[in-house]
Amino acid sequence: MTLKTPIVAVNFKAYYPYSFGENALKIAQDARKVWEETGVQIILAPPYTELKSVLEVVKDTEILVFAQHADPVEPGARTGYIPLEGLKEAGVQGVILNHSEHRLKIADINWLVKKAKKLGLYTLVCADVPETGAAVSILGPDIVAVEPPELIGTGVSVSKAKPEVITNSVELIRKVNKDVIILTGAGISTGEDVYKAIELGTAGVLVASAIVKAKDPYTIIKDMAENAKKAMK
Amino acid sequence: MTLKTPIVAVNFKAYYPYSFGENALKIAQDARKVWEETGVQIILAPPYTELKSVLEVVKDTEILVFAQHADPVEPGARTGYIPLEGLKEAGVQGVILNHSEHRLKIADINWLVKKAKKLGLYTLVCADVPETGAAVSILGPDIVAVEPPELIGTGVSVSKAKPEVITNSVELIRKVNKDVIILTGAGISTGEDVYKAIELGTAGVLVASAIVKAKDPYTIIKDMAENAKKAMK
Amino acid sequence: MTLKTPIVAVNFKAYYPYSFGENALKIAQDARKVWEETGVQIILAPPYTELKSVLEVVKDTEILVFAQHADPVEPGARTGYIPLEGLKEAGVQGVILNHSEHRLKIADINWLVKKAKKLGLYTLVCADVPETGAAVSILGPDIVAVEPPELIGTGVSVSKAKPEVITNSVELIRKVNKDVIILTGAGISTGEDVYKAIELGTAGVLVASAIVKAKDPYTIIKDMAENAKKAMK
Amino acid sequence: MTLKTPIVAVNFKAYYPYSFGENALKIAQDARKVWEETGVQIILAPPYTELKSVLEVVKDTEILVFAQHADPVEPGARTGYIPLEGLKEAGVQGVILNHSEHRLKIADINWLVKKAKKLGLYTLVCADVPETGAAVSILGPDIVAVEPPELIGTGVSVSKAKPEVITNSVELIRKVNKDVIILTGAGISTGEDVYKAIELGTAGVLVASAIVKAKDPYTIIKDMAENAKKAMK
């Protein structure tokens, strides 16, 4: 599957009970409905334990399923770790790397990006500020998301509170990598935030609590997808 | 479900392709067959991504499914981590903690053991030597396994190469905890190793590669289960 | 040098500028004065960079100097780590292990305690609750300090706020280790706190900010030492 | 003090007894002699415990003393960690960051580089391959050293075994940072290796065992310094 833009990427994180079981399936079903209605590229990143059930829900759509993290290990005697081969086997199309809640060493990010490419897995690498966004972009990931940690989970969107983080990111990243897809993250809560993020030069958003903990995920995903489409025109 | 002894616990680790996908299901099916034939308590610990499919295979049996590890985190904004609540939701009956390939801090082991108890999850805590086996036993896990790391994965069983590790473990652990189930681990490869382990005073074994990478897991599991039964008499 | 009780152990931590340079020397000089006046066993644990200068200040006294932490590594190609051999060479008499701000894995605590013993270094192992205090005591350290993390640095002393933590610790630890010296830590601020800690059955205290950030460390150390003496009678 | 080139940077690591005590002082004295004779820029990176004594030995020279690592922490209640402020207070002029034996997360490298700059400390950031060398160079360190981990400590110098690593590094790094000083590392053992490293476009070397474990450090440092000078002409 190819990556299309704009992108609405949903990080399920590990909220309880929201990110697990029936709740996780509900989010996936809602995402599926929105995709059927809008065709917007959606990425879903549920916990490891929910990957296969979510994959089942979005079968035969263009929705992509990513793991939230990958351990920098080769397959083998690694109790409790999941190497990229194991994620590939589970059926995912990509992985999030270096999320602010699960940072990686730079050498490991590079190793994982290169290996994922070989295995045919997409990589979405997070960074905290424009400079580190540019730094990881040199390593050749498919997607990069710059998320100021102080806004993550606040409901105060980076596109409103710190638009310069987005424009600086785009500027610094484009100097070193013409192709990487740039996403906006941290505090994204509404369709308007998504519109703004794209207007400022990125290709979509990385969202978590606003969708995952919503009473009605469908409405939010739909609003974001529609705004993404509108903004890309 | 209650824990019965003797126990054959199978750590799938992260061997590729053995621990994943069809291979993981095959091991679970073989274990199911052995349980149906012998009634011996089997514990299966597949990778996070395989937990639900393995649970499906062993449904309506007394086989227990454990996660290979649990992260010492509360549910919430913890990208790429799985709190105990998430594992419980996935349906597992227990967790392995502090495996030599995924060591934990002592305060975290204690926190996880206590929390697992509250959630109704069993804990199997690993240790490297008799002293640390006794140390973690004070924290009140359901099962403890002493595995000398230098023998793990070697095919040289601790019951043959270092029987005194087993007898010392039993002695030290029983001084501080009368109830914890003690397993023998590291290099366990044959039914004979299992017999020896039980003869030396433990209640079963923690096995990995000998079963997971076997051409015919059924034969090995069966041999181990039968020897376990014979030795317990 | 032998360990005498009661003990007033001072963890310098990494307060700036308090724990470093002239400030660190001042604390060491004040401790020296108190030792000369009271003879009470004092342990000083400055940052790695200050170890040698503090050792110089307390030369020819019975004051002991401990490192705040030891890395579980053999000497060798380990850039930025300090093995026990390096600490020994620097002249220290012991090490703090597993402080709540620098937790260690249980297997590593055991390895470090055993190796320190061989090298002739004392070990002071911290724990967060009575159970983990008992767990680490099984490993045979010279000193154990149970410090509820929620009270560390609060100025609310464990001896007042949670005396049962102290009495439970003593009870659980004595079941598994008759000899280890038990210290009270977390929030210890005054001589009275020290008196109470000893009255509750421990052999002294582990203190940090109350001394290190004090305008006049001498007065506090003196007050604590005198109360320690009085309580031990 | 300003950084001059060429540079011979000596990582003392944690070899025992080589990196500690009298041995550490001997290396510093030898380096001082070479500096007096050649004027070549030397950087010495001893263990934390030896920083002050080494600084004393090289007083009133242009030799710089770096810590081998810095922890990404603010000063405060951080037992066993040393914040940049503490290193500055000890008198060092800079820090090595992200050595292959002590990797850091990319966000932490960025935080440390920025903070070191504010405190007036130099940063020497290591990387494992040309791409990660370029990635960390975006963050604005003073010096970057690309060291293929598989050659570190082998005595097989990267300048002979993998000259393309050096030329690729220079090419990729210069695209994103015109000013950073580039060093060659891994397996550097002789003056000839140093000559080659400079000839291939870098400004000097990062050396460890070849000097630290040498019977006569002076001869090696001298040979390297002279070759560095010759090659820079």
Distance CA C87, CA A3 (A): 54
Residues in chain D, pLDDT under 70: 1
- Using the Cβ of C56 and the Cβ atoms of chain B, whether some distance falls under 8 Å is answered with no
- Using the Cβ of B105 and the Cβ atoms of chain C, whether some distance falls under 8 Å is answered with yes
Distance CA B205, CA B193 (A): 9
Strand pairing category for B204-207 and C143-146: unpaired
What are the start-end ranges of the E strands in chain D? Answer: 7-11, 41-45, 64-67, 94-97, 122-127, 143-146, 181-185, 204-207
In the residue annotation, D147 being an active-site residue is answered as yes
Which has more confidence, B175 or B160? B175
Task: Check residue D1 and give its pLDDT.
Answer: 60
- Using the Cβ of D19 and the Cβ atoms of chain A, whether some distance falls under 8 Å is answered with no
Cβ atoms A5, A35 nearer than 8 A: no
Task: Check residue A207 and give its pLDDT.
Answer: 95
Query: How many other β-carbons are positioned within 10 Å of the β-carbon of residue D135?
Result: 30
Q: Is D24 helix (H, G, I), strand (E, B) or coil?
A: helix
Cβ atoms B32, B63 nearer than 8 A: yes
Q: Tell me the nearest-neighbour CA distance from D100 into chain A, angstroms.
A: 9
Structure tokens at B228: 């376990």
Distance CA B18, CA D142 (A): 47
Best residue in A69, A99, A104, A106 for a mutation probing chain D (most D CBs within 10 Å)? A106
DSSP C150-165: GGTTSS--HHHH-HHH
Cβ atoms C18, C7 nearer than 8 A: no
For the segment A155-163, the average pLDDT, to the nearest whole number, is: 80
Checking ipTM against 0.90, whether it exceeds it is yes
- Using the Cβ of A134 and the Cβ atoms of chain D, whether some distance falls under 8 Å is answered with yes
pLDDT at B185 over 90: no
Burial of C3 (0-12, 13-18, 19+ CB in 10 A): middle
| Beta bridge partner(s), residue A65 | A44
Q: Is C106 helix (H, G, I), strand (E, B) or coil?
A: helix
In the residue annotation, A37 being an active-site residue is answered as no
CB contact under 8 A, A128 and D110: yes
Cβ atoms D114, D77 nearer than 8 A: no
Query: What's A181-204 look like in SS3?
Result: EEEEECCCCCHHHHHHHHHCCCCE
Residue with tokens 């767990």: C135
CB contact under 8 A, A76 and B16: yes
CB contact under 8 A, D11 and C49: no
pLDDT digits (tens, 9 = 90+) for D16-32: 999 999 999 999 999 99
Q: Is D47 helix (H, G, I), strand (E, B) or coil?
A: coil
CB contact under 8 A, C49 and D86: yes
Best residue in D12, D43, D89 for a mutation probing chain C (most C CBs within 10 Å)? D89
Distance CA B228, CA B182 (A): 14
Of A106, A134, A138, the CB nearest to D109: A106
pLDDT digits (tens, 9 = 90+) for A64-121: 999 999 999 999 999 999 999 999 999 999 999 999 999 999 999 999 999 999 999 9
Buried b (16+ CB within 10 A) or exposed e, D47-61: bbbbbbbbbebbeee
DSSP letter at A76 equals B
Q: Is C195 helix (H, G, I), strand (E, B) or coil?
A: helix
- Using the Cβ of B107 and the Cβ atoms of chain C, whether some distance falls under 8 Å is answered with yes
Spell out which residues of chain C touch residue B176, defining contact as CB-CB under 8 Å: 134, 138, 175-176
Task: Check residue C139 and give its pLDDT.
Answer: 97
Task: Check residue C1 and give its pLDDT.
Answer: 60
pLDDT digits (tens, 9 = 90+) for D59-106: 999 999 999 999 999 999 999 999 999 999 999 999 999 999 999 999
Question: Hey, where are the domains in chain A?
Answer: 7-232
Out of C147, C171, C199, C226, which one is annotated catalytic?
C147
Distance CA A45, CA A65 (A): 6
Distance CA A28, CA A21 (A): 11
The closest alpha carbon to B50, from D146, A107, A150, A53, belongs to: A53
Structure tokens at D229: 């000078």
Structure tokens at A88: 């590939």
Task: Check residue A161 and give its pLDDT.
Answer: 82
Q: Is C105 helix (H, G, I), strand (E, B) or coil?
A: strand
- Using the Cβ of C110 and the Cβ atoms of chain B, whether some distance falls under 8 Å is answered with yes
In this structure, whether the domain defined by C7-232 belongs to CATH 3.20.20.70 is answered with yes
Residues in chain C, pLDDT under 50: none
Q: Is the peptide bond before A47 cis (omega within 30 degrees of 0)?
A: no
Distance CA D196, CA D33 (A): 24
Dihedral in degrees, nearest 10, Cα atoms B126, B127, B128, B131: -160
